[in-house]
Amino acid sequence: MSASKSGSALRHATHLSDLGVARFNALLERAARFKQDPPGAHLAGKLLGMVFFNPSLRTRASFEAVMKRGGGDAIVLEVGNGVWKLEDRDGIAMDGDRAEHVREAVPVLARYCDALAVRTFSAGVSDADDDRDPVIGAFKRFSTVPVVSMESAREHPCQGLADMLTVRERFGATRGTPVTLTWAPHIKALPKAVPDSFLLSAAAAGCEVRVAHPEGFELPDSVTHEAARYARESGGSVTYTHDQAAAITGTRVVYAKAWGAATEVGLRHAVDTRKPKADPELDRIRNLREWMPTAAHFQRAATDAVLMHCLPVRRDVEVAAALLDSPRSAVVDEAGNRFHAQRALLDWIFNGD
């Protein structure tokens, strides 16, 4: 019987705050240990319900691999594709295309599974709405088993754990390692979950974090304040700048990621090649192509500096293809570490400390 079904407190893993600095670093240690000495059938008899509101490649494959290689199994549900569209809003008449409410769907799924994993992107309403994380919040309210985030409107905690495992492997430690999170251009404004999680995770791991972005592309205050708390606890530091060159100078990690402007309008804009129309935010993104990391940017970095990116990445838009194909690139190793990070996380969810 799972801890949740026996009545004890649920071990959710939807945000870094569910873990805290000490447990985050303990999971990082566990992931490194499991990578060297696989734990065997540590998830035997466990069933993970995976609910996808949005598409996935690495996340779906790595979570399924963890469960199967650990002796457990997973059920994969794609909302709107063979599964009813789910309504998460309260107090509205369900007269649209969402046929089932999470108030019924989530507790039913919890009767079948030992934990639920959810992937849901930003709805594009505003930074404040992303911070509220409505879909993940609904699953946590109505589930009677642990809930794990496979990326949400606010964070992507498993990516952050894998990122720090990669830094640890490359440089022997995370604490004191200079890492740079740099904004990168794209064809559209993207959500902030990945940069949020890299910032929070690097701060919790004690890195010397530098965040570089153009004016107007600030990360949410709630995230930067949380990162400051983690840095104080871990012995790390966080600084912000609009000077990309300064942020890269001497760094050992260049983490490139596109994200949208800091605005209450959020991600309302999308690229429509059939009907081009004026869009000040997209026009500005297109005019910031010099922010795309190239081999020239690495001339300022440490001699052993590496490129990191969560993937998928648009070549010669977000990151120069030549850089992605160079020995500097750690993106495949980083993606591979998703398996090891999630194996440690699910081991904690199901087996505890």
* pLDDT surpasses 50 at 195: yes
CATH number at residue 123: 3.40.50.1370
Instruction: For residue 2, tell me if it sits in a domain.
Output: no
Helix axes 331-351, 16-36, angle to 10 degrees: 110
Same domain, 63 and 25: yes
The count of domains in the chain is 2
Supply the range of the domain harboring residue 235. Answer: 159-335
167: left (phi over 0), alpha (psi -120 to 50) or beta: alpha
163-167, 186-190, 232-236: range with lowest mean pLDDT: 186-190
Same domain, 124 and 219: no
Please give the Cα distance from 16 to 156 (Å, whole number): 9
Same domain, 72 and 205: no
Please give the Cα distance from 189 to 169 (Å, whole number): 32
Residue 287: pLDDT band by 50, 70, 90 thresholds? Answer: confident
Residue 263: pLDDT band by 50, 70, 90 thresholds? Answer: low
Structural element, H or E, at residue 148: strand 147-149
Same domain, 281 and 331: yes
Same domain, 329 and 344: no
Same domain, 344 and 301: no
Is the pLDDT higher at 47 or at 7?
47
Instruction: For residue 105, tell me if it sits in a domain.
Output: yes
pTM for the whole thing? 0.92
The 3-state DSSP class for residue 119 equals strand
Question: Tell me: the pLDDT tens digits for 302-343?
Answer: 999 999 999 999 999 999 999 999 999 999 999 999 999 999
Instruction: For residue 311, tell me if it sits in a domain.
Output: yes
315: left (phi over 0), alpha (psi -120 to 50) or beta: beta
DSSP 200-261: HHHHHTT-EEEEE--TT-PPPHHHHHHHHHHHHHHT-EEEEES-HHHHHTT-SEEEEE----
Same domain, 215 and 278: yes
Instruction: For residue 8, tell me if it sits in a domain.
Output: no
Same domain, 72 and 208: no
User: In the chain, what is the straight-line distance between the N-terminal and C-terminal CA atoms, in Å?
Assistant: 17
Q: Which residue in 176, 188, 187, 184 sits closest to 237, CA to CA?
A: 176
Question: Tell me: the pLDDT tens digits for 201-253?
Answer: 999 999 999 999 999 999 999 999 999 999 999 999 999 999 999 999 999 99
Instruction: For residue 7, tell me if it sits in a domain.
Output: no
Tell me 147's DSSP state. Answer: E
The answer to whether the CB of 158 falls within 8 A of the CB of 231 is no
Q: In which order are the strands placed within the sheet that holds 147-149? A: 73-78, 47-52, 115-119, 147-149
Same domain, 304 and 263: yes
Same domain, 197 and 324: yes
